Amino acid sequence: MKVNLISLFLACMIGLPAGSALAVLRFPTRKIIIAISNALMSLPPVVVGLIVYLYLSRNGPLGWLELLYTPTAMIIAQVILVTPIVISLSCQIIEDLQEDYKEYFSSLVIPHKKAIFAYIFDARYSLVTVVLAGFGRAISEVGAVIIVGGNIDHLTRVMTTSISLETSKGNLPLALALGVILLVISLSVNFTAAFFKNSAKRKAYV
């Protein structure tokens, strides 16, 4: 869970500002970058795991870092998988919101940097769904984390890889129990986010 949360945090730190910038700024390669980001949303996890493995392996360009089969390698793989989702979804949300504020911000001559943070703040309730989508991708990941993490007990073994391992061993009761726990965690996060979202809306002045 720690690996998933760190990956989600890093992906949101990268993806939310990047998605907002793509929605607000206008430059020649903008549409190309958005198209690439949308395409990367469907990246096969095993391919990402393989690419990260090749880079971090002993003969790879980053092999000297000795990160393979560590939680850091798993975080790198998950950030690569989650970030495009955060960028694309947040870009769409901010782009829709921009239509309501574009003329107002233009009349006040607000710089793009301040406008981006204003959009993120105003769309914070909608962006909760983006974070949840990223969390869902991170917490359900198996292929990439097994390849780069090695599923080492007490080091790189997470709940999803444990379910895969126990299923392959024929230990179905334990695999099912872990699956139920994973489902409960996922539902709890969604219900908690919905609670705070509705609570914040009731307390908001606008």
Q: What is the mean pLDDT of the chain?
A: 86
Q: What is the pLDDT of residues 84-124, one digit of tens each?
A: 999 999 999 888 888 777 777 777 777 777 888 888 888 88
Q: What is the CATH number of the domain that holds 126?
A: 1.10.3720.10
CB atoms within 10 A of CB 137: 22
The Cα–Cα gap between 84 and 48 comes to 13
Compute CA 34 distance to the chain's CA centroid, rounded to the nearest angstrom. 16
How many domains does the structure of the chain reveal?
Answer: 1
The reply to whether 18 falls in a domain is yes
Instruction: Give the per-residue pLDDT at 203.
Output: 52
The reply to whether 178 falls in a domain is no
The Cα–Cα gap between 52 and 57 comes to 8
Q: What is the pLDDT of residues 174-204, one digit of tens each?
A: 999 999 998 898 888 778 777 766 765 665 4
Domain that holds residue 94: 2-150
Q: Is this prediction's pTM over 0.75?
A: yes
Residue 39 has pLDDT above 70, yes or no: yes
Terminal-residue alpha carbon distance, the chain: 35
